[in-house]
């Protein structure tokens, strides 16, 4: 599963998301040392990560599952839905469209 965000300046949008997390404007997501996003509420924290990838006109967030457990449908549904919710709430004027794929795509890492 991947979140794909169509925007004019993917690098700028990613930078603004990171800044909003760092300055506390977004408290429901946090960054790890690799630059991946995890959902901050204790119930969901470290259950998965969203890894950003920039291509022209597109900011993609691939999901990474934990190495020692299975990534459940509930977790990947929550991560994708809540990530898009955060984008709509804080960055709605910075992109034109955000979608989530229903199944794993190229770049996702889901251990079995």
Tens of pLDDT, residues 29-47: 999 999 999 999 999 999 9
Distance separating the N- and C-terminal Cα atoms of the chain = 15
CATH number at residue 51: 3.30.310
Q: What is the pLDDT of residue 104?
A: 64
Residue 70: inside a domain:
yes
Residue 109: inside a domain:
no
φ/ψ of 8, rounded to 5, equals -75, -35
Tokens of 108: 């996702």
Q: Which residue has the higher pLDDT, 26 or 109?
A: 26
Residue 49: give the domain boundaries.
2-100
Residue 80: inside a domain:
yes
Residue 60: inside a domain:
yes
Whether residue 110 has pLDDT greater than 90 = no
- The number of distinct structural domains making up the chain is 1
Global pTM exceeds 0.85: yes
CA dist list (Å): 90 to 4, 64, 79, 84, 107? 16, 23, 16, 10, 26
């Amino acid at each position: 599963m991947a979140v794909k965000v169509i925007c004019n300046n993917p690098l700028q949008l990613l930078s603004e998301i990171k800044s909003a997390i760092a300055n506390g404007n977004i408290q429901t997501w946090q960054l790890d040392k690799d630059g991946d996003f995890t959902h901050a509420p204790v119930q969901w924290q470290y259950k998965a990560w969203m890894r950003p990838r920039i291509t022209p006109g597109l900011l993609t967030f691939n999901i990474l599952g934990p190495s020692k457990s299975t990534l459940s449908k509930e977790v990947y549904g929550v991560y994708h839905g809540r990530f898009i919710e955060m984008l709509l709430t804080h960055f709605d004027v910075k992109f034109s469209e955000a979608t989530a794929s229903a199944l794993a795509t190229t770049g996702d890492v889901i251990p079995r």
